[in-house]
Structure 1
Amino acid sequence: MGRIDFFTEEEYEAGYSTEDKVVFGSLAVGGLLALAGVAIYQISVQLGGALFLLGLLIGVLPYGFISFLKNRALQEMENQFPAFLKDLAESKRGGMTIIQAFESAQETDYGRLNHEIDKIHYQLTWGIPFPEVMERFSKRMEDSSVIQELVSILLQSFRSGGDITRTIEAIAEDSEKLKRAVQEKNAKIKQQVFIMYIIYF
């Protein structure tokens, strides 16, 4: 059984993703069962209540489970990203082109990150410019502030004509610090939102 691809490019891929199909399907089935439970409740309280609760579980649990898997996949990719960047910089320093560097990275096990490396490599071989490929990758990683920030720094250096190899090395070395800084920032934002919510209500 293949893994669900949580990180797709909606504007380039037709139809609904597997993730969306599972969520929408469970909501539809759960909704129908909940409505049936409400209707039957007048006849049988026990059966109606059981159907209603079953509908809620079917409607909510798949979404919660998929969210858990997606967050776990993101965390795994964030943890593997620094090692990938270090290897990418080493390949570049060895004289490889950016396409060759990504091709070499495909041979290393970076867990869930390998699927994204494959996408990047394929898009580069199709002739899509490096900045656009990385912007697509960043968009797929919209739920990871850490990876988005690292990619943003990389693109800024690339567009300004800086030493891309040194930039990649610097990003890899400082990625853990950046990860902690972004996580602390997000935690503070969530805390402020929670406080505002409490004050408002």
Structure 2
Amino acid sequence: MKVTLGKREISALSILISIIFFIISLFIFGISLSKLIILITISSVIAILPSFFYTYLTSKKIRGMEERFPDFLRDILSGVKAGMTLPKAIMHCANIDYGPLTPEVRKMATQLSWDVPFPKVIKSFAEGVKDSPFLLRGATVLLECSRSGGDIAAVIESTIENMTIIKRIESERSSIISQQVLTLIIIQFVFIVILVMVYKLFLPLLSSFYSLKGAQTALLPIAVINPAEAVDHFKTLFLITLIVSALVNGIIIGKTKEGKALMGMKYSIFLLIVSLIAYALFIMPRSVEVKCELPTGIISSGQEVEITCQLLVDVSPIKGVLLNLSLEHPEWSKTITVVTDSEGKFKGKFKIPTIRGNLTIGVSGSYTTGLGESIQIDERIGVEVA
């Protein structure tokens, strides 16, 4: 038995799948505000996408039928001019290929061959294409021609001419609007680039604020700033902004180009995917920074030096992280284990042998956030030995 799913059944099934995906993803990826927003967005897309494709395929079929309907009327006109009645002309058209319109034409021809009244056949056709005002007007013309009689050929010929003009105008309009669509897509890409640049400039600025810990200005007490919370808030704000702009631009494109906001979902999904990829690559990853200080700018051979460093993740100091602090040279190296304090700082003493050239301070290790996210730390800083 063949089972056909309608739009309502497809919507219900896709919503169920999106809920299952959301619950499973929560267990796999953990919970954070940014991840929660991304999961909700992806789950919403999963819920909407099947219904959108159903609507999109239906609309594509309708557009194909609209393209071929004037050809169908021309063949009916030829039959009428040859002396056929409207039912006979339609039955004659059943052997002609009209693309997506062919099944409807053959259905009408079959009904007419079974002596179903012509008005009932046309009304049945109109019911099947009720989502298309273009096809409904054509069906109405055929129905009125059968009822009123008169010069049917002239009426059909006038209808064909009007439909051809309408399609030509729609084609020209689509060509003009395509330029606007391209502009909106470019605007979204530029917006993504600007947000990424703002974020990359924002982190060093916040880092400089944190370096002034304890200081205050006339307007802002820097000491009360929590860098980690500030970064997370901005990440969340940027994510929401990217999602909203992608959805809104897609809807505007759909409404402008095709007259239906829902048809803009294909553009929204494309822009949303690009935006989320940009966010995942450039904004979502944690920023790891290691700052190191030496007693003097240049280290002398045989000198004992104390290296003081600070670990910042998203410009916030991290406490209790076990790290490997090393001083490396092509002819010599030494590694010690250190632990960061409440300010993210750690120290290490090294006795420099009699060598010359460049040394490298290495800091390596890993840090696991409270949400189970593992961050790898591997930083290298070059120094000179006199």
* TM-score bracket relative to the smaller structure: 0.5 to 0.7
How far is 1:17 from its partner?
4.6
- List aligned pairs for 1:30-41, cutoff 5 A: 30-34=18-22, 36=23, 40=27
Equivalent-residue separation in structure 2 for 1:113 and 1:98 (angstroms): 18
How far is 1:179 from its partner?
5.1
Aligned residue among 49, 55, 61 for 2:43: 55
Q: Which amino acid aligns with 2:65?
A: M
Q: Which amino acid aligns with 2:73?
A: L
Question: 1:138 maps to what in 2?
Answer: 126
- List aligned pairs for 1:80-95, cutoff 5 A: 80-95=68-83
2:77 paired with 1:77: no
Residues 30 and 55 in structure 1, CA contact (< 8 A), matched pair in contact too: yes
2:30 paired with 1:44: yes
Give the secondary structure class of the aligned counterpart of 1:96. Answer: coil
TM value normalised by structure 1: 0.68
How far is 1:72 from its partner?
1.6
Residues 30 and 58 in structure 1, CA contact (< 8 A), matched pair in contact too: yes
Residues 91 and 112 in structure 2, CA contact (< 8 A), matched pair in contact too: no
Q: After superposition, what is the alpha-carbon deviation per residue over 1:150-190, rounded to whole angstroms, capped at 9, x for unaligned? A: 22233223222333333222211221235578999xx8xx7
Select the structure that is richer in helix. 1
Cα distance change, pair 24–162 in 1 and its aligned pair in 2 (3 A):
farther
The structure whose RCO (Cα within 8 Å, separation 6+) is larger is 1
- Identity within the alignment, %: 28
Q: Which has the larger radius of gyration?
A: 2
Select the structure that is richer in strand. 2
Question: 1:164 maps to what in 2?
Answer: 152
Equivalent-residue separation in structure 2 for 1:122 and 1:17 (angstroms): 26
Equivalent-residue separation in structure 2 for 1:88 and 1:17 (angstroms): 35
Cα distance change, pair 158–100 in 1 and its aligned pair in 2 (3 A):
closer
Mark the runs of 5 or more structure 1 residues left unpaired by the alignment.
1-14, 191-201
Question: 2:356 maps to what in 1?
Answer: none
How far is 1:21 from its partner?
3.6
Mark the runs of 5 or more structure 2 residues left unpaired by the alignment.
174-255, 260-386
Cα distance change, pair 24–158 in 1 and its aligned pair in 2 (3 A):
same
Equivalent-residue separation in structure 2 for 1:119 and 1:69 (angstroms): 21
2:136 paired with 1:129: no
Question: 1:193 maps to what in 2?
Answer: none
Length, aligned pairs only: 170
Give the secondary structure class of the aligned counterpart of 2:99. Answer: coil
2:52 paired with 1:64: yes
